[in-house]
Amino acid sequence: MDTATMGAYDDVRPAPRALATEAVHAGRDDLARQGLHAPPIDLSTTYPSYDSRGEAARIDAFATDGADLVGPPVYGRLGNPTVARFETALARLEGTESAVAFASGMAALSAVLLARSAMGLRHVVAVRPLYGCSDHLLTAGLLGTEVTWTDPAGVTDALRPDTGLVIVESPANPTLAELDLRAIAYACGSVPLLVDNTFATPVLQRPAEEGARLVLHSATKYLGGHGDVLAGVVACDEELAGRLRQVRFATGGVLHPLAGYLLLRGLSTLPVRVRAASANAAELVRRLASDPRVSRVHYPRIGGAMIAFEVEGDPHDLISRVRLITPAVSLGSVDTLIQHPASISHRIVDADDRRGAGVSDKLLRLSVGLEDVDDLWADLDQALGEPVRVPVGTGEAAR
């Protein structure tokens, strides 16, 4: 039987280990002592207890600071042992004290905003571009927040007494723009910095080491890695984690145990998948950058498996012609996906704001998978179509 409690099943924290080792073993350190090899899946929604006084005391303690429950589980909305294993592992990979998982990346971001608003800190400073739905959540004020959009140099001047959070994404979705996270964390002063690390993953960067207090992932993407789980997670210090657990309990944005199991399994291959897909992406960048049918290629200095590129022709024509590559939203899967951000992921953002953030109508976003790179290029090559030719007499060379 799985004896893990809500994220505190192992009293001894292992000595520092390499990322690849942590990816395989974090969250599983107690299994051998239980005579287990694969992590068990606990699907219970409720748990029996004959000590109602003790249970009441534990719930009172949770209501005070949101700390993990000590002892056996109580109810699925308070926490789940299988999900706790994933949270433990992700915290180890990001180098934070804790992590709190949610039903989606947007549920995770919403919980952070609600936790800060509950403290009277409703103002948010944010840098574009962000994921389109994150942008919309902030701009529309759906959770009672007020946002000030600024560039990285303007973060300090944008802060107010009621600023509860600074939000950035680096590399950004979908332009892959990179930010100096250490400089921004310094500019935030005492205001917590949240970094969306979905594109980079802890394989390529660990924002907590640069001063971020919260690291957000749409775990649907690289952490799961196979396009079969929806989830979000925030890695942070224990003080903030306690508040997030309280919001999760109150709002019910919990992660299903099966999703927690799939995410823990996904983490074990995360370094291998990210590095292999990144190698494919780097080669495709090289070929795209020298192709006359492509006007611009965006690729971050830290590397990774995400590419953005602008075409000379109609991007919708390319989308309609791919055959091996899947035209679909999302990213981070083992197979390659392509989408047109201005039509889908960032359609909800005001057109002027979208273009001002560098999301042009010609931009395509490519999430590179693990296929053979020559097969991927063959599909892109045929989808790009014939070179665009300039009419004779314009004074420009035919392309």
Positions marked active-site = 77, 131, 196, 221
Q: What length does the chain have?
A: 399
Residue 70 has a CB neighbour count (10 Å cut-off) of 11
- C-alpha to C-alpha distance for 285 and 196, rounded to whole angstroms: 23
Alpha-carbon distance values, 42 to 83, 89, 197, 383 (Å)? 9, 17, 28, 46
Half-sphere exposure of 388 (CA within 13 A, CB side): 14
Query: Following DSSP, what letter does each residue of 53-102 receive, concatenated?
Result: HHHHHHHHHHHHH-PPPSSS--BTTT--HHHHHHHHHHHHHHT-SEEEEE
At residue 12, φ and ψ (nearest 5 deg) are: -105, 115
Tell me if 225 sits within 8 A of 334, measured CB to CB: yes
- C-alpha to C-alpha distance for 238 and 376, rounded to whole angstroms: 43
- C-alpha to C-alpha distance for 73 and 79, rounded to whole angstroms: 7
Tell me if 83 sits within 8 A of 264, measured CB to CB: no
| Cross-strand pairs, 297 | 309
Short-list 104, 84, 90, 98, CA closest to 40: 84
Alpha-carbon distance values, 11 to 4, 30, 70, 374 (Å)? 11, 10, 11, 49
The token pair at 144 is: 């009672």
The token pair at 58 is: 């534990």
Half-sphere exposure of 216 (CA within 13 A, CB side): 28
Residue 199 has a CB neighbour count (10 Å cut-off) of 28
